[in-house]
């Protein structure tokens, strides 16, 4: 999914939103609304029908595996007959999935590749979480309706046999698994209109600007406003790490959640910091297109191959070992910085050390929070976000000089290693 298409480095992937939810949760309702707003829909259930249409190899394989009695007299698939067999056991379902899923995957790739370059592609995939597909999307939206209400809707509105509905719910992911994968949580326990309104907001405030940023390779520049610690930051970071790992492939030696949002209880600007450790700077450069395609374009103007002035006082001043590359999230709904640093170089080590030291030393964390509060107050006086960010960074810098030395002393005392 990542990187450019057809060998043209100026083309990044189209924005792809993975839409999922349990059976009867309201995925179709959401996808219809998104299509009305201008999205291009690629629907897995529809493709799953196409790949087993009369005369297909897929249908022949199903009949060979499940018996000719899953066919109607006209040779087409008897869907309730197959459902009765397939949802009766995990083994039978695995056979069904092994026949259908690779075909659905191949056809999906063709349809996504055919979408216009400025499309917002919505992929409605009931089994997205079950299939571990979340990292392959720029965003994952989960439609959620409580299981009891889903059963009621399926039985009353869709005339589905209750046993069948229960068997499918049991064969799918849990709410908790879906929650962990969800960048966007759309609650559909209430009225349809409420869901539609949430979808319109999502479209206008997140999908449309994200698409433009992705295509233009424009990272979002959030204002340095300090917020209370958010217990969900860790889970949000894990989702981004999953995407980065997929995009970076073998170039990433490790990917870590660093910075203030990685220190539980510490107030922070609501921007996640992530560090990709690479073997050398050439590997960082080689990731440029793949990261941009995954929604993390390079922030060119802060590139440096010199020591960070704020870290210089700590000792290492050799420009040759301070190089790094910075990328930023193009998603206005989830600002993030992605730092690419070389394994074993002081900057790479310090990012991990600072985080671990602040996690371990609550006095240091409190002191740092005070420094940040004052810096954020001064930054708030600047209206230009770039200036505000610069003021914020400059005011924190002197504290980092001391922190560098203190954290290293702590590392020596405790035998810390990354
Ligand atoms: C078994 C079949 C013939 C039953 O057809 P039916 O018309 O009753 O259901 P339909 O295809 O419209 O699916 C409705 C819903 O059932 C659930 N469901 C379907 N297949 C599966 C599965 N293999 N595992 C878990 N849930 C499933 C999904 O929530 C889906 O949205 C059909 O579901 C099928 O071919 N399934 C295999 C393909 C598949 O996994 N599709 C889901 C997304 S790729
Ligand atoms: N907020 C709502 N209130 C009442 N009924 C609703 C609401 N949202 C959806 N429905 C109805 O509930 C049923 C399931 O919704 P929908 O078809 O959108 O779910 P789905 O997730 O696409 O289902 P499937 O998993 O079968 O593809 C439909 O009959 C739909 O009309």
Burial 177-195 (b: 16+ CB within 10 A, else e): ebebbbbbebebeeeeeeb
d(CA 339, CA 336): 10
Residue 283 placed within a domain: yes
Q: Band the pLDDT of 13: cuts 50, 70, 90.
A: confident
The minimum-distance atom of ligand 1 relative to the CA of 47 is 44
CATH number at residue 235: 3.30.460.10
Q: Is the pLDDT of residue 16 over 60?
A: yes
Q: Band the pLDDT of 393: cuts 50, 70, 90.
A: confident
Do 245 and 208 share a domain, yes or no? Answer: no
Do 279 and 307 share a domain, yes or no? Answer: yes
Residues with CB under 6 A from ligand 2: 21, 23-29, 45, 126, 153, 157-158, 188, 191-192, 195
pLDDT in tens, 164-203: 999 999 999 999 999 999 999 999 999 999 999 999 999 9
d(CA 199, CA 38): 12
| Residue 303 confidence (pLDDT) | 54
φ, ψ for residue 130, nearest 5 deg: -60, -35
| Residue 214 confidence (pLDDT) | 97
Q: How far is the CA of 248 from the centre of ligand 1 (A)?
A: 33
pLDDT in tens, 314-371: 444 556 667 889 999 999 999 999 999 999 988 899 999 999 999 999 999 999 999 9
Q: How far is the CA of 192 from the centre of ligand 2 (A)?
A: 9
| Residue 2 confidence (pLDDT) | 39
Do 154 and 190 share a domain, yes or no? Answer: yes
Two tokens, residue 264? 């539980």
Do 37 and 106 share a domain, yes or no? Answer: yes
Is 260 annotated to bind ligand? no
Q: Which of 28-42, 229-243, 293-307 has the lowest mean pLDDT?
A: 293-307
What three-state secondary structure class fits 92?
helix
d(CA 400, CA 391): 15
Is 85 annotated to bind ligand? no
What three-state secondary structure class fits 272?
strand
Instruction: Please answer whether residues 8 and 114 qualify as being in contact, where contact means their C-beta atoms are separated by less than 8 angstroms.
Output: no
What three-state secondary structure class fits 6?
coil
d(CA 359, CA 353): 10
Task: Classify strands 226-227 and 268-269 as parallel, antiparallel or unpaired.
Answer: antiparallel
**Distance spanning both ends of the chain, measured CA to CA:** 31
Is 132 annotated to bind ligand? no
Q: What is the value of ipTM here, to two decimals?
A: 0.92
Q: How far is the CA of 100 from the centre of ligand 1 (A)?
A: 10
User: Pseudo-torsion of CA 335, 340, 343, 349, nearest 10°?
Assistant: -50
Q: Band the pLDDT of 96: cuts 50, 70, 90.
A: very high
Residue 9 placed within a domain: no
Which residues lie below 8 Å from residue 255, measured CB to CB, with a gap of 6+? 241, 244, 245, 248, 274, 275, 276, 277
Out of 168, 189, 216, a domain closes at 216
Do 44 and 172 share a domain, yes or no? Answer: yes
What three-state secondary structure class fits 331?
coil
| Residue 9 confidence (pLDDT) | 41
Out of 216, 235, 258, a domain closes at 216
Do 138 and 262 share a domain, yes or no? Answer: no
Task: Classify strands 184-187 and 139-144 as parallel, antiparallel or unpaired.
Answer: parallel
Instruction: Please answer whether residues 321 and 228 qualify as being in contact, where contact means their C-beta atoms are separated by less than 8 angstroms.
Output: no
The minimum-distance atom of ligand 1 relative to the CA of 125 is 43
Residue 134 placed within a domain: yes
Domain with 19, as residue range(s), is 15-216
Q: Is the pLDDT of residue 10 over 60?
A: no
Residues in the chain: 418
Residue % of the chain over a pLDDT of 70: 92
Do 42 and 186 share a domain, yes or no? Answer: yes
Do 190 and 241 share a domain, yes or no? Answer: no
Q: How far is the CA of 222 from the centre of ligand 1 (A)?
A: 42
Q: Band the pLDDT of 302: cuts 50, 70, 90.
A: low
| Residue 383 confidence (pLDDT) | 87
Q: Is the pLDDT of residue 4 over 50?
A: no
Ramachandran region, residue 26 (left: φ > 0; alpha: ψ -120 to 50; beta: rest): left
Instruction: Please answer whether residues 139 and 20 qualify as being in contact, where contact means their C-beta atoms are separated by less than 8 angstroms.
Output: no
pLDDT in tens, 121-163: 999 999 999 999 999 999 999 999 999 999 999 999 999 999 9
Average pLDDT of the chain is 92
Is 55 annotated to bind ligand? no
Do 315 and 352 share a domain, yes or no? Answer: yes
Residue 8 placed within a domain: no
Residue 4 placed within a domain: no
Out of 162, 196, 216, a domain closes at 216
Residue 361 placed within a domain: yes
Number of domains the chain contains: 2
Q: How far is the CA of 410 from the centre of ligand 1 (A)?
A: 56
d(CA 213, CA 382): 24
Q: Band the pLDDT of 404: cuts 50, 70, 90.
A: confident
Do 294 and 384 share a domain, yes or no? Answer: yes
Q: Can you tell me the mean pLDDT for 386-391?
A: 88
Two tokens, residue 388? 């505000």
Residue 10 placed within a domain: no
Residue 46 placed within a domain: yes
pTM of whole model > 0.95? no
Q: Can you tell me the mean pLDDT for 376-396?
A: 90
Do 347 and 320 share a domain, yes or no? Answer: yes
d(CA 3, CA 221): 23
pLDDT in tens, 67-89: 999 999 999 999 999 999 999 99
What three-state secondary structure class fits 74?
coil
Do 292 and 194 share a domain, yes or no? Answer: no
| Residue 323 confidence (pLDDT) | 81
Instruction: Please answer whether residues 357 and 370 qualify as being in contact, where contact means their C-beta atoms are separated by less than 8 angstroms.
Output: no
Q: Is the pLDDT of residue 7 over 80?
A: no
CATH number at residue 62: 3.40.50.300
d(CA 408, CA 349): 10
């Amino acid at each position: 999914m990542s990187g450019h298409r057809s060998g043209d480095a100026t083309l990044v992937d189209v924005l792809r939103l993975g839409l999922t939810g349990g059976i009867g949760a309201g995925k179709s309702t959401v996808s219809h609304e998104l299509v009305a707003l201008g999205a291009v829909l690629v629907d897995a259930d529809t493709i799953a029908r196409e790949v087993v249409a009369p005369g297909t190899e897929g249908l022949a394989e199903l009949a060979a595996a499940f018996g000719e009695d899953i066919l109607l007299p006209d040779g087409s698939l008897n869907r309730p007959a197959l459902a009765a067999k397939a949802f009766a056991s995990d083994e039978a379902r695995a056979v069904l999935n092994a026949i259908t899923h690779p075909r659905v995957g191949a056809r999906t790739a063709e349809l996504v590749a055919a979408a216009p370059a400025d499309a917002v592609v919505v992929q409605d995939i009931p089994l997205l979480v079950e299939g571990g597909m979340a990292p392959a999307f720029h965003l994952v939206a989960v439609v959620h309706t409580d299981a009891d209400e889903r059963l009621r809707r399926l039985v009353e509105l869709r005339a589905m046999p209750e046993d069948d509905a229960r068997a499918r719910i049991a064969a799918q992911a849990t709410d908790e698994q879906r929650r962990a994968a969800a960048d966007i949580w759309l609650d559909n326990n209430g009225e349809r209109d409420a869901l539609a309104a949430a979808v319109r907001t999502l479209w206008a405030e997140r999908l449309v600007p994200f698409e433009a940023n992705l295509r233009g390779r424009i990272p979002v520049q959030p204002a340095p406003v300090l917020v209370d610690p958010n217990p969900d930051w860790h889970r949000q970071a894990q989702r981004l790490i999953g995407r980065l790992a997929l995009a970076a492939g073998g170039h990433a030696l490790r990917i870590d959640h660093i910075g203030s949002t990685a220190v539980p209880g510490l107030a922070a600007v609501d921007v996640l910091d992530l560090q990709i450790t690479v073997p050398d700077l050439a590997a960082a450069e080689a990731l440029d297109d793949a990261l941009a395609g995954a929604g993390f374009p390079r922030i060119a103007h802060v590139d440096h191959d010199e020591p960070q002035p704020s870290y210089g006082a700590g000792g290492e001043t050799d420009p040759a070992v301070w190089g790094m590359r910075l990328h930023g999230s193009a998603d206005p709904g989830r600002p993030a910085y992605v730092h690419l640093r070389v394994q074993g170089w002081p900057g790479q080590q310090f990012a991990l050390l600072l985080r671990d030291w602040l996690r371990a030393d609550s006095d240091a964390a409190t002191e740092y929070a005070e420094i940040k509060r004052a810096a954020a107050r001064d930054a708030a006086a600047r209206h230009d976000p770039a200036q505000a960010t610069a003021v914020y960074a400059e005011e924190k810098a002197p504290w980092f000089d001391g922190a560098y030395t203190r954290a290293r002393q702590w590392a020596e005392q405790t035998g810390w290693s990354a």
